[in-house]
């Protein structure tokens, strides 16, 4: 099967064109890979307590997420560092099989160590599938549809924040956590078998070179440490882990800047290069957005909102991301550049506005009282959504042909890094502000105030970076 891009006649770009008979198979395959990664990341948060109650291993609880995230980053890196001559389709097949095998191991795990092996395999396969979605864009779709495809993948992540916990809750409610893994196995087998016919067999057009092992080790170690920090309950321990992680990432960037063997596209380690500012904008957007993980706690503790309702309310962030992505899907040129800047401003302003809306003890007894907080949560996600696909498209379009796979893989990597660092930083802030000591209402008020004040600051960096991004036509 040849590249689909070369068989499509030029015509006005439309989001629905992704689902045309000619493109639908590839769209389902690539979108399905992103969906597996996104949904599985959120299902675990819901079924994890049931797993521990059944097979034990509470002391290893945090590693169920930590290994998945770290392996996912390694998987996205593998897309770009795979053996020379290995095509993207072969990587897709291997990734689907690996994810399915990991799911099977998790489903059959008699104890926590075995389950952690399965989670690592899942994360590695899912990371590859997510990275492949962006790597395949230039081969599957004509260039006018690159932005539309990026919009679709961004929307999938938004939907997953609702779909994942819902599915996880369904299986956890009946104590059927093993079935939550088993149902994924047949799907991954179908994906692996179908890839040969539904995805194009494209040549490996990467430049030759050595694998950047030092940078990979530094980055993975940093991801592991910051992921552990995000699940640790000790404030001082978190700070040390985050500090070491930052040092490791800094060391990796310095090596990237001076080495001929690079993990990231040329220019990523230099702030003066446009591609560097694009990735940094994505990172800061994800870092700020992760402050939403404490919204349900504050809603329940400070405002008397039930757990069920608070869960649906925080889903407004995901809904905003999805609606924002589709709202700006048709933008191009200067409108796309404006959308990126506007999105950064909206996210930053919405995050800061949660200080007066969330850090109070007012009871949200009616819609009028709840409306400002609802609007702020929605706008946090909307801001990311309207600019994300345009950031992705700009990265793919300005990266050199021989570094396209590096550029595509780095998108998933930066997204995961932003989320991991954001979760860890948010934990440091709320613990330092008194969430647990003194705790109670006073501690929650202080934590909410400091969390949304400090987490809005990186948004100012995102705004400053975004205004330097030139339109695609420039």
Q: What is the pLDDT of residues 308-355, one digit of tens each?
A: 677 778 788 888 998 999 899 889 889 999 999 999 999 999 999 999
Q: CA-to-CA distance for 235 and 45, rounded, in angstroms?
A: 22
| Of 313 and 88, more confident | 88
Q: 304, 444 in Cβ contact below 8 A?
A: no
Q: Is the pLDDT of residue 474 over 60?
A: no
Q: CA-to-CA distance for 381 and 459, rounded, in angstroms?
A: 13
Q: Is the pLDDT of residue 25 over 70?
A: yes
**DSSP secondary structure string for all residues of 326-349:** HHTTT--HHHHHHHHHHHHHHHHH
**DSSP secondary structure string for all residues of 305-323:** --HHHHHHHHHHHHHHHHH
What does the pLDDT look like over 399-414, one tens digit per residue?
A: 888 888 888 888 888 9
Question: Where in the chain are the domains?
Answer: 22-207, 266-474
Around Cβ 220, how many Cβ atoms within 10 Å? 17
Least confident of 127-136, 148-157, 192-201, 364-373: 364-373
CATH placement of domain 22-207:
1.20.1250.20
Q: 23, 17 in Cβ contact below 8 A?
A: yes
Closest to 191 (Cα-Cα) out of 123, 139, 133: 133
Domain 266-474 belongs in CATH node 3.40.50.300 = no
The whole-model pTM stands at: 0.84
| Mean pLDDT along residues 289-312 | 81
The reported pLDDT for the residue numbered 251 is 95
Q: CA-to-CA distance for 338 and 344, rounded, in angstroms?
A: 10
Closest to 38 (Cα-Cα) out of 77, 72, 61, 89: 72
| Mean pLDDT along residues 287-302 | 87
Q: Is the pLDDT of residue 5 over 50?
A: no
Q: Tell whether the torsion through CA atoms of 151, 160, 469 and 350 is positive or negative.
A: positive
| Of 210 and 104, more confident | 104
What does the pLDDT look like over 429-472, one tens digit per residue?
A: 988 888 877 878 898 899 999 999 999 999 999 999 999 998 87
| Mean pLDDT along residues 194-218 | 86
Taking 3-state DSSP, the helix, strand and coil percentages for the chain, each rounded to the nearest 5, stand at: 80, 0, 20
What does the pLDDT look like over 356-379, one tens digit per residue?
A: 988 887 776 666 677 888 899 999
Q: 261, 267 in Cβ contact below 8 A?
A: no
Q: Which of 120-134, 195-209, 229-243 has the highest average model confidence (pLDDT)?
A: 120-134
Q: Tell whether the torsion through CA atoms of 155, 168, 120 and 129 is positive or negative.
A: negative
Q: 119, 106 in Cβ contact below 8 A?
A: yes
Contacts of 265 (CB under 8 A, 6+ apart): 275, 399, 400, 403, 406, 407, 410
The reported pLDDT for the residue numbered 365 is 65
| Of 151 and 15, more confident | 151
Q: Is the pLDDT of residue 1 over 60?
A: no
Q: What angle do CA 455, 409, 39 make, to 5 degrees?
A: 65
Q: Is the pLDDT of residue 7 over 50?
A: no
**DSSP secondary structure string for all residues of 243-256:** HHHHHHHHHHHHHH
Question: What six digits make up the tokens of 221?
Answer: 């170690």
| Mean pLDDT along residues 250-275 | 90
At residue 112 the predicted structure's pLDDT band, cuts being 50, 70 and 90, is very high
Q: Is the pLDDT of residue 416 over 60?
A: yes
Question: What six digits make up the tokens of 101?
Answer: 């095998």
| Mean pLDDT along residues 263-268 | 90
Q: Where are the alpha helices (DSSP H) in 359-439?
A: 367-398, 404-432
Match 């007012």 to its residue by tokens.
Answer: 362
| Mean pLDDT along residues 198-222 | 86
What does the pLDDT look like over 378-393, one tens digit per residue?
A: 999 999 999 999 999 9
Q: Is the pLDDT of residue 233 over 70?
A: no
| Mean pLDDT along residues 82-96 | 92
What does the pLDDT look like over 167-185, one tens digit per residue?
A: 777 777 767 889 989 988 9
The reported pLDDT for the residue numbered 10 is 47
Across 338-375, b (16+ Cβ under 10 Å) vs e yields bbbbbbbbbbbbbbbbbbebbbbeeebeeeeebeebeb
Q: CA-to-CA distance for 205 and 138, rounded, in angstroms?
A: 12
Summary mean pLDDT of the chain = 87
Q: What element of type H or E holds 268? A: none
Q: 292, 377 in Cβ contact below 8 A?
A: yes
Distance from first CA to last CA of the chain, Å, rounded?
Answer: 35
Residues in the chain, overall count: 474
- Over the Cα atoms of the chain, what is R_g? 21
| Mean pLDDT along residues 263-273 | 90
Q: 134, 38 in Cβ contact below 8 A?
A: no
User: Quick one: how far is CA 414 from the chain centroid?
Assistant: 8
Q: What angle do CA 380, 382, 384 make, to 5 degrees?
A: 75
| Of 23 and 49, more confident | 23
User: Quick one: how far is CA 397 from the chain centroid?
Assistant: 21
The reported pLDDT for the residue numbered 6 is 46
Q: Is the pLDDT of residue 9 over 50?
A: no
Q: CA-to-CA distance for 89 and 82, rounded, in angstroms?
A: 12
């Amino acid at each position: 099967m040849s590249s689909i891009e070369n068989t499509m006649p030029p015509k006005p770009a439309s989001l629905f064109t992704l689902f045309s008979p000619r493109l639908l198979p590839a769209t389902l395959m690539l979108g399905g890979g992103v969906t597996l990664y996104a949904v599985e990341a959120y299902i675990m948060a819901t079924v994890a307590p049931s797993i521990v109650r059944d097979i034990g291993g509470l002391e290893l609880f945090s590693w169920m997420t930590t290994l998945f995230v770290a392996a996912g980053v390694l998987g996205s890196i593998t897309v770009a560092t795979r053996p020379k001559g290995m095509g993207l389709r072969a990587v897709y097949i291997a990734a689907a099989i690996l994810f399915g095998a990991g799911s099977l191991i998790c489903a059959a795990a008699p104890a926590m160590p075995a389950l952690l092996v399965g989670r690592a395999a899942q994360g590695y396969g899912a990371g590859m599938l997510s990275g492949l979605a962006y790597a395949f864009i230039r081969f599957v779709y004509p260039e006018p549809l690159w932005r539309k495809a990026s919009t679709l993948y961004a929307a999938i992540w938004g939907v997953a924040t609702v779909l994942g916990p819902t599915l996880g809750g369904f299986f956890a409610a009946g104590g059927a956590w093993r079935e939550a893994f088993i149902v994924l196995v047949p799907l991954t087998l179908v994906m692996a078998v179908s890839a040969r016919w539904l995805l194009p067999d494209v040549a490996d057009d990467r430049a030759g070179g050595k694998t950047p092992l030092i940078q990979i080790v530094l980055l993975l170690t940093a991801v592991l440490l910051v992921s552990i920090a995000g699940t640790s309950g000790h404030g001082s321990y978190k700070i040390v882990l985050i500090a070491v992680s930052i040092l490791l990432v800094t060391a990796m960037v310095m090596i990237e800047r001076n080495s001929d063997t690079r993990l990231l596209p040329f220019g990523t380690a230099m702030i003066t290069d446009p591609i560097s500012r694009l990735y940094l904008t994505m990172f800061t957007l994800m870092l700020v957005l992760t402050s939403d993980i404490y919204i349900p706690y504050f809603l329940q503790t400070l405002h008397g909102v039930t757990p069920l309702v608070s869960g649906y309310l925080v889903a407004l962030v995901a809904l905003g991301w999805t609606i924002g992505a589709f709202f700006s899907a048709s933008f191009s040129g200067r409108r796309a550049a404006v959308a990126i800047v506007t999105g950064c401003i909206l996210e930053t302003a919405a995050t800061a506005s949660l200080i007066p809306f969330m850090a109070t003890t007012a009871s949200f007894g009616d819609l009028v009282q709840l409306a400002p907080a609802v609007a702020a949560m929605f706008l946090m996600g909307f801001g990311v959504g309207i600019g994300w696909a345009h950031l992705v498209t700009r990265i793919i379009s300005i990266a050199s042909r021989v570094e396209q796979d590096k550029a595509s893989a780095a998108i998933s990597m930066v997204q995961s890094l932003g989320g991991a660092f954001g979760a860890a930083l948010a934990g440091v802030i709320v613990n330092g502000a008194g969430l647990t000591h003194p705790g109670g209402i006073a501690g929650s008020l202080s934590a909410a105030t400091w969390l949304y004040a400090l987490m809005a600051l990186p948004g100012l960096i995102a705004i400053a970076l975004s205004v330097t991004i030139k339109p695609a036509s420039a």
